[in-house]
Amino acid sequence: MCTAWFVVNGTQLINNVGDLARFGTILFQILCPLQLALIVFLSAVQSASAVSQEKDKNTLILLLLTRITNSELVLGKLFSSLLSIGVMLATAVPIFMLIVLFGGTSFQQVLWVMIVTSLSAVASGSLGAMLGFWREKTFQTLSITALVIVFWVGVFEAVASMEFTLLGLSSAQIAQTFSPIRAIFAAADPAINLTWFSSVLPFCFSTAAIAVLLNFIAIMRVRIWNPSRDVRPGQQEDQEKDSIWGVNPDLENTGSSKENIAETARSGHVDARVKRASQKSRVVWDNPVLWREICTWAYGRKVLVVQGSYWIIFIAVAAAIYGIFNSGVSQVSALGELIPVFAQPLAPFFLVSLVIINALAVSSVTNERDGRSLDLLLVTDLSPREFLFGKIGGVFYVAKEMVILPLVLCGALWIFGAISLENLIFLSTGLLVLDVFVTMLGIHCGMLYYNSRQAIAVSLGTVFFLFLGIMTCMLIMISFSTTSFESMLAPFLAFIVFGGIGLFIGLGSRNPSSAIALASGALPISMFYAITSFLIGQVTPVYIILVMVYGFTTSAMMIPAISEFNISMGRQKSFDDE
């Protein structure tokens, strides 16, 4: 609010109450979708990671052995995860009430915005919790959750772009009934006092029904899905011996000698068992971490479901781009004629790709810690370099679709003439730099934080924070028609300073270094400069800043991890140890 006010006060004249009302209206419509995106993301991630952590630490089976009912287990995990989300929404209410004082908005708008946001949070949290109880691996849960949310929004955006009528409802009304983005804009509309019954209320009922259905499925299936055990082939349970010494008393009645009786007992001991190898053993590479990531199902066989879902979204985005070309619409959108229309389907697709890669990277370390295998790796002769590059190589191999398919779409834009060859090089190399950055960010947070939920929240939250921070700055500048770097530096100083402090707290507070401190301070100011350069049509500075700053930040996290193992194991030194 303060940043937007400084922007308006420094670039425009505030002469009357109508100017204040227009300012309040624009600010309210910027903050509402921003809050919705943040709350939906945090709700899904927190509920999914809360259940996945129970599975990774093998404590979910202990809960299943107690007298806790299915509903208590599912709803308890859901609402305990959403408790912090509810606190966030409660603290946001007074801030939105302050916007009403500017004029242009009403208390009814604030009420409906909070209702829509709260119901969306419950629905996304229910989705994350259900997938957490269903899937075994943390990466599967997080990635499928992100893909479903993107698919949820994308499908109804596609429905809204069509023109048809179903059961007396237009395509726009159907999309508004199920899409949280459409519903939040309807709730922020000044005419909500007259249109709430037909615009927002259907979304509330549909979202509540979706949340109830997801929780019902989880309650009915939680003890069927868990625990999931694979019986080893060829394993048979031995019959229990009647004697505490392992000798069957019936053998003593057969007249056998003591030597034969003892030999028979020894043959049933585990040391006397011999099993022939059913297949040729595989040769492990010089880097066993990389071999495990690539040559085994380290993240479960259901990772194919994630890849298949991603392919579906890729096909949908490609079809949307093809439809834009065939429609012959202008190559710019309505946002000040600055954002290319092709960015509308591509930007969410690029974001979900980065989120999946980051989720895979952070879970590659947290799974090792929760499974108690990280201790074993640290006592071997495995070097930090082998561990780090093995994890990075494994992430890029498993998530190869998330790296290659966005580049394919970039190539398609160049083939159709939407971008030049120079812009294709900028876009492709920039995406690769971001892929390496989010991978290293996930591994860094996985090694830095002992608590898996905290590591996942910080890692994914940093990616989301950078994306939302950039979008917020762009929306404020576009909405108030300002593109000058010099005039905008002072108003956005709070964004830059507090953004840098937040990055340092998340990335370097537990293991402070001058490089991470410099990177945390350079990222916000550099990205702000890149935004202003983009808004005035200068593409080359955007590319240079992107490669330099994110490359330096990646190096700041990577170089210490190469030289030594600095992994938080959750141990506290006692007085005698020191």
The string of pLDDT tens digits covering residues 195-216 is: 888 889 999 999 999 999 999 9
Q: Looking at the 3D structure of the chain, how many domains does it have?
A: 2
Torsion over CA of 281, 285, 290 and 295, rounded to 10 degrees?
Answer: -30
φ/ψ of 170, rounded to 5, equals -75, 165
Instruction: State what percent of residues in the chain have pLDDT above 90.
Output: 37
Is residue 528 in some structural domain?
yes
Q: In terms of domains, do 168 and 71 share one? A: yes
pLDDT grade for 10, boundaries at 50, 70 and 90? low
Is residue 578 in some structural domain?
no
Separation between Cα atoms, residue 490 and residue 492, nearest integer Å = 6
The string of pLDDT tens digits covering residues 24-63 is: 898 898 899 999 999 999 999 999 999 988 888 888 889 9
Q: In terms of domains, do 215 and 298 share one? A: no
Q: 211, 228, 245: which is the final residue of a domain?
A: 228
Separation between Cα atoms, residue 123 and residue 78, nearest integer Å = 10
The string of pLDDT tens digits covering residues 408-435 is: 999 999 998 888 899 999 999 999 999 9
> Which residue type sits at 266?
R
Does the pLDDT at position 255 exceed 60?
no
Q: In terms of domains, do 339 and 197 share one? A: no
Listed ranges 16-20, 358-362, 469-473; the one with the highest mean pLDDT: 358-362
Separation between Cα atoms, residue 189 and residue 32, nearest integer Å = 11
Q: 179, 202, 228: which is the final residue of a domain?
A: 228
Q: 209, 228, 247: which is the final residue of a domain?
A: 228
Q: In terms of domains, do 122 and 216 share one? A: yes
Q: Is there a contact between 378 and 459 (Cβ–Cβ < 8 Å)?
A: no
Separation between Cα atoms, residue 369 and residue 92, nearest integer Å = 36
pLDDT grade for 366, boundaries at 50, 70 and 90? confident
Is residue 174 in some structural domain?
yes
Find the mean pLDDT for residues 259-287. 67
φ/ψ of 152, rounded to 5, equals -60, -50
Q: In terms of domains, do 20 and 92 share one? A: yes
The string of pLDDT tens digits covering residues 152-187 is: 888 888 888 777 888 788 888 898 899 999 999 999
Least confident of 278-282, 543-547, 550-554: 278-282
Q: In terms of domains, do 296 and 394 share one? A: yes
Separation between Cα atoms, residue 126 and residue 129, nearest integer Å = 5
State the chain's mean pLDDT as an integer: 83
The pLDDT of residue 448 is 87
The pLDDT of residue 237 is 45
Is residue 459 in some structural domain?
yes
The pLDDT of residue 243 is 45
Is residue 5 in some structural domain?
yes
Separation between Cα atoms, residue 414 and residue 66, nearest integer Å = 59
Is residue 239 in some structural domain?
no
φ/ψ of 169, rounded to 5, equals -110, 135
The pLDDT of residue 239 is 43
Is residue 349 in some structural domain?
yes
The pTM for the full model equals: 0.83
Q: In terms of domains, do 197 and 293 share one? A: no
pLDDT grade for 333, boundaries at 50, 70 and 90? low
Find the mean pLDDT for residues 461-476. 84
Find the mean pLDDT for residues 336-355. 82
Does the pLDDT at position 407 exceed 90?
yes
Separation between Cα atoms, residue 175 and residue 173, nearest integer Å = 5
Q: Is there a contact between 333 and 339 (Cβ–Cβ < 8 Å)?
A: yes
Least confident of 322-331, 468-477, 490-499: 322-331
Separation between Cα atoms, residue 96 and residue 30, nearest integer Å = 12
Q: In terms of domains, do 174 and 82 share one? A: yes
Does the pLDDT at position 87 exceed 90?
yes
Burial class (CB in 10 A: 0-12, 13-18, 19+), 146: buried
> Comparing 228 with 521, which gets the higher pLDDT?
521
Entry field: residues in the chain: 578
Q: In terms of domains, do 304 and 399 share one? A: yes
> Comparing 503 with 481, which gets the higher pLDDT?
503
Residue whose C-alpha is closest to residue 142's, from 307, 293, 306, 304: 306
Does the pLDDT at position 330 exceed 70?
no
Q: In terms of domains, do 519 and 436 share one? A: yes
Tokens of 561: 């991890």
pLDDT grade for 576, boundaries at 50, 70 and 90? very low
Q: In terms of domains, do 549 and 480 share one? A: yes
Q: Which residues form the domain of 352?
A: 286-568
Q: In terms of domains, do 535 and 410 share one? A: yes
Q: Is there a contact between 172 and 88 (Cβ–Cβ < 8 Å)?
A: no
Does the pLDDT at position 235 exceed 70?
no
Separation between Cα atoms, residue 29 and residue 544, nearest integer Å = 32
Is residue 46 in some structural domain?
yes
Q: Is there a contact between 350 and 431 (Cβ–Cβ < 8 Å)?
A: yes
